[in-house]
Amino acid sequence: MAMALIGAADGGPGAGVRVHKPFWRQLYFQVLAAILLGGLIGHFYRGAPWIEAYLYPLGQGFIALVKMIIPPVIFLTVSVGIAGMRDMGALGRVAGKAFTYFLFFSTLALIVGMIVSNVFKPGLGMNVDVATLDPGALERVSGFEAKSHDLTIQSFLLDIIPKTFFSAFTEGSILQVLFVSLLFGVALALVGDPAQPVVDMLTAVGRVVFRLVALLMSAAPIGAFGAFAFVISSQGISAIIGLGQLIASVYLTSFLFIVVVLGAVAAWAGFSIFRLIGYLREELILVLGTSSSESALPALMEKMERAGCSRHVVGLVVPTGYSFNLDGTNIYMTIAALFIAHATNTELTMGQQLALLAVAMISSKGAAGVTGAGFITLAATLEAVPTLPLAGIAIILGVDRFLSECRAITNFIGNAVATIVVSRWEGALNREQLDAALRTPPRPVAAVPVEADAD
């Protein structure tokens, strides 16, 4: 009997022999150390051209590597998961429950942000003169002009459909990949047993792809180092201090939303939000270092399966949640919009604030899959509400990367909670696996002996 050596990324839930490594060999420690080192270099060599020339590409390159692997991860996970369902009614139920959850909590996040802004009024007293703001600030946001005007429901729905089957994998749209994956998975399920060789082949390819994910994650400290060095070098600590009210409001509100709102949802579902955060600590630190929740999407899908969530639920909820369940982005949008209103002494009636909320609800869905979605969506929302000065976005442009980290972390945790809740709601959650995973987070595995087919 031949033996195959499979790494942690290959094994299913509970597979493998746990190998305890010294803390300095753990990915989360290495990423933390890289963030600290990058921050120090960015601070002491503030504005040095070599940081943008040589360190910034490290962060961008790592994110590009992860984005490269996201389409095959989604396609393989979703199509194989749906092929194993054989019950199309179950697919509709999962989708319906997921979108119900997304709509409710995304709207709640917008409302929470609005309440916080009205109670604490961040920005009040800054007395910014709109005439003195840089009118060209938006031009420094890559692609804003092209993307903001396309944030309509019609264009959004049409953009879900790729030009060709394969273009979905090359255009960088998560929703297009998800759309193709759903169709392919449904077709496999409808064909039934004759399609089993295709399912087996995709399953085998999936093991290779997740091994590739593990290899790419080993470069995470390098990416986090370059990305954070550039952020501190280009924007500096003074930017954080200057807009401390806005930053504190967004971070504190996001923290309370995670602990109180998502914590209550987690308690209802029978698990601890703090244990879930501990279970995902490596991915969260990676998100912090890269300011992108996409950098940890493949790892989140794998860990949710390891935590007992059904593959077909994970494959549908996680990628869809990355487009529709943006709790952190929604909190940021309302707080930032009202911060601009307070800072520029722009009076908004409750009716105008509710109109702002309605616009934000629509535009936040229309920005799905857009790079820098939080900032671009905020700009599009301000553009749709004439009362607010669009030029006011220049006030927060300098600290948006710091706020982006908070948005990404909150979005990430929100999607992890959503996956477990929808799995429980659907009766597709292995409670024993969940308890075991959250009680003792799995360590990386050096090698796992698995029996292969006989020679």
Domains and CATH numbers, the chain: 3-451 (1.10.3860.10)
Q: What is the pLDDT of residues 218-236, one digit of tens each?
A: 888 888 888 878 877 876 6
- pLDDT of res. 267: 94
- Inform me whether the pLDDT recorded for 448 exceeds 60: no
Query: Quick one: pLDDT at residue 239?
Result: 58
Position 345 scores a pLDDT of 86
Angle, vertex CA 285, rays to CA 279 and CA 286, nearest 5:
110
The residue whose two tokens read 């990416």 is 223
* Count of positions (residues) in the chain: 455
> Whole-number mean pLDDT of the chain?
78
| pLDDT classification of 440: cutoffs 50, 70, 90 | low
- Model confidence at 240, pLDDT cuts 50, 70, 90, reads low
- Give pLDDT tens digits for 247-271: 899 999 999 999 999 999 999 999 9
The lowest-confidence range among 27-31, 215-219, 341-345, 449-453 is 449-453
How far apart, in whole angstroms, are the C-alpha atoms of residue 199 and residue 239?
52
CA-wise closest residue to 225 among 56, 67, 372: 56
- Using one digit for the tens of pLDDT, what is the confidence trace for 357-377? 887 876 666 444 444 556 767
How far is residue 435's CA from residue 276's CA, in Å, rounded to a whole number? 10
Q: What is the structure's pLDDT at 271?
A: 93
* 85 token code pair: 């369902």
Q: Is 47 exposed, middle or buried (0-12, 13-18, 19+ CB in 10 A)?
A: exposed
User: 448-451 and 3-6 as β-strands: parallel, antiparallel, unpaired?
Assistant: antiparallel
Supply the pLDDT for residue 143.
45
Assigned token pair, 160? 């879900």
pTM for the model: 0.74
How large is the average pLDDT for residues 149-158?
61
Supply φ then ψ for residue 449, to 5 degrees.
Answer: -75, 125
User: Is the CA virtual torsion 144, 147, 152, 156 positive or negative?
Assistant: negative
Does residue 356 contact residue 385 with C-beta atoms inside 8 Å? yes
Q: Quote the pLDDT of residue 9.
A: 37
Q: Whole-angstrom Cα distance, residue 396 to residue 229?
A: 20
Percentage with pLDDT > 70 across the chain: 78
Least confident of 144-148, 153-157, 439-443: 144-148
452: confidence class by pLDDT, cuts 50, 70, 90: very low
pLDDT attached to residue 179: 85
What sign does the CA torsion over 429, 431, 436, 439 have?
A: positive
Q: Which residues fall within 8 angstroms of residue 2, CB to CB, at 6 or more apart? A: 451, 452, 453, 454, 455
Beta strands of 53-148 (E only): which ranges? none
Please compute the mean of the pLDDT values over residues 243-247 and round it to a whole number: 83
7 pLDDT above the threshold of 50: no
Which has the minimum average pLDDT: 1-15, 33-47, 96-110, 171-185? Answer: 1-15
- The pLDDT of 390-395, averaged and rounded, is 74
Whether the predicted pLDDT of 38 surpasses 50: yes
* Residue 325, token pair as written in the block: 């369940």
What number of CA atoms fall less than 13 Å from residue 271's CA on the CB side? 31
Q: Which residue has the higher pLDDT, 337 or 210?
A: 337
Provide the pLDDT for residue 45: 85
Phi-psi map region of 345: left, alpha, beta (phi>0 left; psi -120 to 50 alpha): left
CA 414-416-422 angle, 5° bins: 95
**CA 274, chain centre distance (Å):** 19
Cα distance from N-terminal residue to C-terminal residue, the chain: 7
pLDDT band at 52 (very low <50, low <70, confident <90, very high): confident
Q: At how many degrees (to 10) do helices 400-426 and 311-324 cross? A: 150
Q: How far apart are CA 422 and CA 265, in angstroms?
A: 11
How far apart, in Å, are the Cα atoms of 442 and each of 98, 167, 303, 304, 425? 27, 36, 9, 12, 25
CA 302 – CA 294 distance, rounded (Å): 14
Residue predicted with more confidence, 438 or 136: 438
**Span 321-341, average pLDDT:** 88
Residue 68 CB neighbours (<10 A): 13
Rounded Cα gap, residues 320 and 418, in angstroms: 11
